[in-house]
Structure 1
Amino acid sequence: MTANLYALFASHFPADKTACCIETHDGQYYSWGDVERASARIANLFASLDLPRGSRIAVQVEKSPEALILYLATLRAGFVYLPLNTAYRAAEIEYFIGDAEPAVFVCSPKNFGWVAQIAFKAGTRHLFTLDEITSGNQGRNSGSLLARAMHFPDTFATVDRQADDLAVILYTSGTTGRSKGAMLSHGNIASNAKVLQQYWHWQADDVLLHALPLFHIHGLLVAANGALLNGSKMIFLPRFDAAEVCRQLPRSSIFMGVPTYYVRLLADSGFDRRTCRNIRLFVSGSAPLLADTFTEFVARTGHTILERYGMSETAMLTSNPYAQERRGGTVGLPLPGVSLRLATTNENGHDTVSGPNEIGDIQVKGPNVFQGYWRMPEKTAEEFTADGYFKTGDVGKFDSAGYLAIVGRSKDLIISGGYNVYPKEIESVLDEIDGVVESAVIGIPHADFGEAVTAVIVKRPEAKLTTDGVIALMKTAIANFKVPKQVFFADELPRNTMGKVQKNLLRERYASQPDITSSAC
């Protein structure tokens, strides 16, 4: 029996293929039969390209039902799906194409010009476009991928794949600034989806309100996969909008979001108990949920948000329980099949397991843990212990009941609005700005984003740098979610005796300061 992830999903599709699989916010309707036929056409197109086994299909497109169908078609055809953040710019895309060497790249029509220059120069054989389909342009200007696929049959025999075969590559940056491709197999993803289906008590009549992006593990491998495995309808929003979410919530039973979504819902006067009357489960992840948000949400809606913990390399690791107590400030209990431990290093350099309320590095093992980093065997070996546990880089502690709390990170990762931001990458761009001597990037607690990316810059005396000027330059160079929301200027950066910048002191110094104005320094 094949372990192809698409075959697993298809085995759980409703018997009535005319039932709705995806409904868009503006009333478009995609049945399960539509999804099967459309994914078959695209899979047939890919099969006709005579691609080598294991070829990567890189995708940077706007969210749409067709984008999700493209993901399914890639799995069905036996190739490797590689989603990329739509905010990435040319320098970032050039790196991903050079590293992953995709045989196919699918982009938005508006980006075709600059993407084509990069892709063809790097040797990418096939470039297609896929537009965001709306009620105003459905069937027109939808891109070359669908135009080509329309000429192929609407049936396709799903390619046989084993559980260890690679299904998806998710790029996750490292503290050195070099992005790493986390390789997830069909078995990794399937095991996690099946555990979550049971642990979160998915019901036959569940309807998922999907407001997350599709290039991220949360929106794709948790939310969308959960609905596909359960044969549940999805209401697709192109992006999060509090008013639109409030309008669609009464028609839904499950909602998943990052903490920023919940902060913005609470700020909407139309969000109340009546709006949430049919919701069975609210899930939060990808960043820490502030205690005030957790408490206020219960008071406003009567619902307790379920927090969970995962990462690109492991999918979901822990979750607050569905039917038992959900503890604010924790990410719950290890999921079934996941072995999770906290480790510390003693004076002899040996790892020892931490007891209750002791802080340690989070390490995990299980069928959900990835295969390693793409073309980085040395880095892969470095991130695993001798007995096979993956070192997450996060630091946590268990309470007396076994609930895990994330208390920090052993790396300088910043999580802003649910996205991973790595300081070194941003610092390298800041340091190239004329007049900048050096920089340090830190995360400061923020009620909306969880953490705000903040830059501290040492400039040359004659430099006429301003906050707005630096931010404007950064917006032309990197994805918007990485751009500092605050910029401070300092005479020097604090360092320890070894010369390392003491970012903990910077956090303490600037956490309580208001945003500075845009004035020359």
Structure 2
Amino acid sequence: MNEHFWTDKYPAGIAAEIDPDRYPNILAVLRESCQRFADKPAFSNLGRTLSYGELYELSGAFAAWLQEHTELEPGDRIAVQLPNLLQYPVAVFGALRAGLVVVNTNPLYTAREMEHQFNDSGAKALVCLANMAHLAEQVLPHTGIRQVIVTEVGDLLAPLKRLLVNGVVRYVKKLVPAYSLPQAVKFTEVLALGRGRPLREATPKSGEVAVLQYTGGTTGVAKGAMLTHRNLIANMLQCHELMAANLEDGRETIVTPLPLYHIYAFTFHCMAMLLSGNHNVLITNPRDLPAMVGEMARWKFSGFVGLNTLFVALCNHEGFRRLDFSALKLTISGGMALQQAAAERWEDITGCAICEGYGLTETSPVVSVNPRQHNQPGTIGIPMPSTLCKVIDEAGNDLGLGVPGELCVHGPQVMKGYWQRPEATAEVLGADGWLKTGDIALIQPDGYIRIVDRKKDMILVSGFNVYPNELEEVLASLPGVQLGAAIGVPDDKTGEAVKLFVVRKPGVELTAEQVLAHMRANLTGYKVPRQIEFRDSLPTSNVGKILRRELREQELKKHATA
């Protein structure tokens, strides 16, 4: 592909290139923004707002404690397992300022999933919510984690409100199972001991890893994508360039319902919004729609970042439809395909069109997005500045415009590789820097991209990747199961849902309820199958490999005739 192909395709006012070396590391961005926007709100949650100045002070205290009270060294990994609370940005930026590598961890993980990620990353420290500390207690003896910091939901609220919120969560709602972690230190104690203490600010090089973000990539084994300081700076600059015409630095309020531990929200809210000095309203539990709508009613919000299932759920909520949308000027969709009906209804209700984008964990994550003034519904927009895209056939030949093929990406946001997995890295990332996405796409003559299909068997549930290999491995550990296969089936709420096909061992009585109980005990909620079908046999190839493709085709036919 002509390397200058995109330069004449960009709409007026959007630069085709960014300088990924503008800052030496993320900490330089943090320092600049926290000085420039010191009095501006950075994050709000549960009635408290942290300014950028306070964020810098608290993250500094966290970093100083790590340096003075632990044996952690620059480059060591620290797992951060928190929902959307004020503690999250404090811990993440504090860890980075101490020179550590952040391992974003889903707080809904089961013990089995936690153990894999902690061991694979080599994490030496963990920041977790008290609500999940009982799982940490089970897992930590089997890992290299020696330092644990435990926080409660209300720890960064005003003193009286902190006592109230933490008391309600622990004693009224009973959401904190009993646990014993004698080595754990309270988050509040960490900040108290670190406040005002000297800090040796880390100075990582741009090519050093800042974040290990776990993903299955194009295969089912969870791997850590090594995202460097330069990768994340590039993507924050790219996002800023495409949003500059819509969002003013230091003046916007953005609703943040998606989890910050997910790369989509992490880069947008913790990176891009940091650069622009804007305000993120953290929604701790987006499944509680009444509470979320109540929080949104408190703010004159100008931006919203979500995905298809959330747009649908909100549009069906009467309270949401009554909100004041007069300030809303930018809605961004990613994580999963945006359905046309959902986009149209959102625009009817809010008066703001949704701009769909596309990304991967391996690209920090944003690859392309629709600029608001040049929105093409049904596409994933144009490549980010300094980003090249092409489609190839199975032999690796460039297919050019208008022909579906595997989408490949080249740009400064492309990961360094998978953590300690050179073979897996070589499968998707060439020596020339081109990343194979595993998605089938078509590039239009005007430069806009359409996703046609996914190449692999990955299932996408509400924007989260679910991998059949993992599900089938868990299923196989259930006595009485002879064979199993997992596929994605269409679902109006989640885009796709997991369907499990099970072949029982001869003479075994096994019910769907027993299978579901086993899966729930070993998998995060979004991975648990919504449908189970027992069969006498499954379609296989001549070497005995189960053909998920045939199962999907059978289900699609059923869905089409339903």
* Change beyond 3 A, Cα 1:117–1:487: closer
2:221 matched to which residue of 1?
Answer: 178
Q: How many angstroms apart in 1 are the aligned matches of 2:150 and 2:324? A: 38
The 3-state SS of whatever aligns with 1:488 is strand
Deviation at 1:386, TM superposition (A): 4.3
Q: Is the 8 A contact 1:184 1:370 kept in 2?
A: yes
Q: Is the 8 A contact 2:390 2:443 kept in 1?
A: no
1:491 to 2:536 alignment: yes
**Cα distance per residue 1:370-396 (max 9 Å; x no partner):** 111111122212222342211111111
2:102 matched to which residue of 1?
Answer: 81
Mapping of residues 144-183 of structure 1, within 5 Å: 144-154=186-196, 156=199, 158-174=201-217, 177-183=220-226
2:271 matched to which residue of 1?
Answer: 225
Q: How many angstroms apart in 1 are the aligned matches of 2:328 and 2:35? A: 22
Deviation at 1:60, TM superposition (A): 1.4
Q: Is the 8 A contact 1:397 1:406 kept in 2?
A: yes
1:357 to 2:407 alignment: no
Q: Is the 8 A contact 1:397 1:407 kept in 2?
A: yes
Q: How many angstroms apart in 2 are the aligned matches of 1:463 and 1:296? A: 49
From 275, 279, 283, the counterpart of 1:237: 283
Deviation at 1:330, TM superposition (A): 1.5
Deviation at 1:137, TM superposition (A): 5.6
**Cα distance per residue 1:55-77 (max 9 Å; x no partner):** 00112123210112101111111
From 433, 448, 455, the counterpart of 2:500: 455
1:263 to 2:312 alignment: yes
1:138 to 2:181 alignment: no
Q: How many angstroms apart in 1 are the aligned matches of 2:44 and 2:269? A: 15
Letter in 2 for 1:19: K
From 102, 116, 129, the counterpart of 1:108: 129
**Cα distance per residue 1:173-222 (max 9 Å; x no partner):** 25653211000011100110011012022313111111111210012112
Deviation at 1:502, TM superposition (A): 2.7
Deviation at 1:511, TM superposition (A): 4.0
From 27, 52, 65, the counterpart of 2:47: 27
**Cα distance per residue 1:335-389 (max 9 Å; x no partner):** 11111110113xxx4x221132211111111110111111112221222234221
2:440 matched to which residue of 1?
Answer: 395
Mapping of residues 61-460 of structure 1, within 5 Å: 61-133=82-154, 138=162, 144-154=186-196, 156=199, 158-174=201-217, 177-201=220-244, 202-204=247-249, 205-240=251-286, 241-247=288-294, 248=296, 251-272=300-321, 275-314=324-363, 315-324=365-374, 326-345=375-394, 349=395, 351-460=396-505
User: Going by fraction, where is helix more abundant, 1 or 2?
Assistant: 2
* Change beyond 3 A, Cα 1:18–1:320: closer
**Cα distance per residue 1:224-243 (max 9 Å; x no partner):** 32221111112111121433
**Cα distance per residue 1:56-103 (max 9 Å; x no partner):** 011212321011210111111111000111111111111112211112
Deviation at 1:512, TM superposition (A): 6.1
2:552 matched to which residue of 1?
Answer: 507
Q: Is the 8 A contact 2:255 2:303 kept in 1?
A: yes
* Change beyond 3 A, Cα 1:21–1:386: closer
Letter in 2 for 1:198: E
* Change beyond 3 A, Cα 1:299–1:20: closer
Aligned residues: 508
* Change beyond 3 A, Cα 1:130–1:440: same
1:44 to 2:64 alignment: yes
TM-score (normalizing by structure 1): 0.92
The 3-state SS of whatever aligns with 1:353 is coil
Letter in 2 for 1:226: A
* Structure 1: gaps of 5 or more residues: 515-521
Deviation at 1:476, TM superposition (A): 0.7
Q: How many angstroms apart in 1 are the aligned matches of 2:53 and 2:318? A: 39
Q: How many angstroms apart in 2 are the aligned matches of 1:457 and 1:504? A: 16
* Change beyond 3 A, Cα 1:297–1:360: same
* Change beyond 3 A, Cα 1:468–1:357: farther
Q: Is the 8 A contact 2:110 2:135 kept in 1?
A: no
1:519 matched to which residue of 2?
Answer: none
From 455, 459, 471, the counterpart of 2:516: 471
Q: How many angstroms apart in 2 are the aligned matches of 1:342 and 1:2? A: 32
TM-score (normalizing by structure 2): 0.85
**Cα distance per residue 1:111-135 (max 9 Å; x no partner):** 3344245324433231221222276
* Change beyond 3 A, Cα 1:274–1:178: closer
* Structure 2: gaps of 5 or more residues: 1-21, 168-184
Letter in 2 for 1:99: D
**Cα distance per residue 1:142-180 (max 9 Å; x no partner):** 961331331123364531121101100001125653211
* Change beyond 3 A, Cα 1:401–1:27: same
RMSD of aligned residue pairs (Cα, Å) = 2.3
